[in-house]
Structure 1
Amino acid sequence: MNQSMEKVLSEQLLKAVTLAEEEEWLQNGHGVYEEIPDERSFFDATKKSAKVVCHFYLPTTERCKIVDKHLRKIAQKYMEIRFIYANAEKFPFLTTRLKIRVIPTIVVIINAKTVDYIRGFDDLGGIDEFKTETLEWRLSWTKVLEYDGPSYLRDSDMTVSKLTKEAKKKVRRSEDDNDDDW
């Protein structure tokens, strides 16, 4: 067998494997943004899919609708990831176990292990009008997806995580903290 024939056969094999993988993903609910009805469904999703992004929401929270809009777009683009959402009120065990205190919270799960949380909009610029690409970029931090677009931090900015840590420090201890107050 010559090299060109081997190349054609290996390309065909790769296509067949890719198609089989995509078919399995579709059967497991990939490619769509789907609400899960109960905690058992959450665990089933994380067992069947290597990569899961779950949005914990409350139906009365406007910012959750913004996250929904962006995750619907992203779910169609990244077939290898299962995108689900769960009403936090209906998942008391999970919200306690995952320490979900801020709504919306996006949980990233890889190989049945929680690897990241996106709580609120701080990591997305702190504004309601962020771009879908900003959320893609933020999700790429954990390698759940590969994002090759622009970074959403300006060169003069510190990283979002540093900003978040500094804000937490300021809340705990203000500039004029001293023991003379008492």
Structure 2
Amino acid sequence: MAPINNMEAAISQVVETVENQLDQQIDQLRNLSVDDLETIRNQRLKLLKEKAAQQIEWKKKGHGIVVELKDEKEFFSTTKTSEKCIILVYSDDTIESKILDHHINIIAPKLLECKIAKINVKSCPFLMKRLNLTKTPVLILIQEFNIIEKIQRFDNIIDISNKSTEALLYRLHTSGIIQNEDLVAPTQKKKKVLTHRRKVIREGSSDSSDDDSD
């Protein structure tokens, strides 16, 4: 029973924390003056303008669409001009490459903060060798000039359905290349919650075992 009790305690603690935060926000709203509201309005307008300017800058760099890279020189120049990059290395003769190409074209407009591109495996032999890649397709995720992950398994991305698009977005979210929770479908969020609960149970079970050994 210890793992279940630990999980219930963890959930109760999260709920209590959220409730306290909401109470604090409500209290703050009740005490706001007209000047405070005007300040908040101006701050939000400033943030909206900054966000719009950032989106314009991203689009100037080719964000929002999938760009075909001709060679390795373009690959490296692309990773130097954009903070976040998602690059598909594909081959013409694999159905998996065609499926991923379909999905990255769908998600590109949603992920303006990322430069999304693709390059044919024939155009990047040095890159394949340097990154120790032996097969395609592969998604290379780059942030601040560093490769954070090379995705080579696409178990849940098996066709061109919306479900597979959602699975790809969730996979990218778990990698950390995108942080926007709104892009993760409810069904994928449930998986995340279940994964967290299993982790809590495992940790609770481990703690219980440690207590028993004492």
TM range (shorter): 0.7 to 0.9
Pair 1:52-2:85 in alignment? yes
**Greater C-alpha radius of gyration:** 2
What are the residue-to-residue correspondences of 1:79-94 with 2, within 5 Å?
A: 79-94=112-127
1:18 aligns with 2:83: no
Mapping 1:58-137, distance limit 5 Å: 58-122=91-155, 124=156, 127-128=158-159, 131-137=164-170
The residue type paired with residue 83 of structure 1 is I
Aligned residue type for 1:81: C
Distance 2:133 2:119 in 1: 12
Give aligned pairs, total.
155
1:28-39 equivalences under 5 Å are: 28-39=61-72
Select the structure that is richer in helix: 2
Distance 1:145 1:103 in 2: 23
CA displacement 1:10-59 (0-9 Å, x = unmatched): 12211111111101100111100111112121112111111111100111
Over aligned residues, Cα RMSD in angstroms? 2.4
Unaligned regions of 5+ residues in structure 1, if any? 160-182
State the identity as a percent.
Answer: 28
Dislocated runs of 4+, deviation >6 Å: none
Partner of residue 178, structure 2? 145
Aligned-pair distance for 1:153?
5.4
What does residue 9 of structure 1 align with? 42
CA distance in 2, matches of 1:131, 1:104: 15
Distance in structure 1 (CA, Å) of the matches to 2:121 and 2:80: 20
Q: Secondary structure at the match of 1:106?
A: strand
Q: Which has the higher contact order (CA 8 A, sep 6+)?
A: 2
In 2: Cα distance, 1:142 partner to 1:110 partner = 11
Write the deviation string for residues 133-163 of structure 1: whole angstroms up to 9, x where unpaired: 011111111111134323385969xx9xxxx
Deviations 1:56-82 (A, max 9, x none): 011122211100001111111111111
Which AA in structure 2 matches 1:65? K
Q: CA deviation at 1:87?
A: 0.4
C-alpha distance after superposition, 1:103-128 (max 9, x if no partner)? 11111111111111111423x36x44
- TM-score, normalised to structure 1's length? 0.76
- The 3-state SS of whatever aligns with 1:131 is helix
CA distance in 1, matches of 2:73, 2:122: 15
TM-score, structure 2 normalization: 0.66
Residue type at the aligned position of 1:96: K
Whether the aligned pair in 2 keeps the contact of 1:116 and 1:142 (CA below 8 Å) is yes
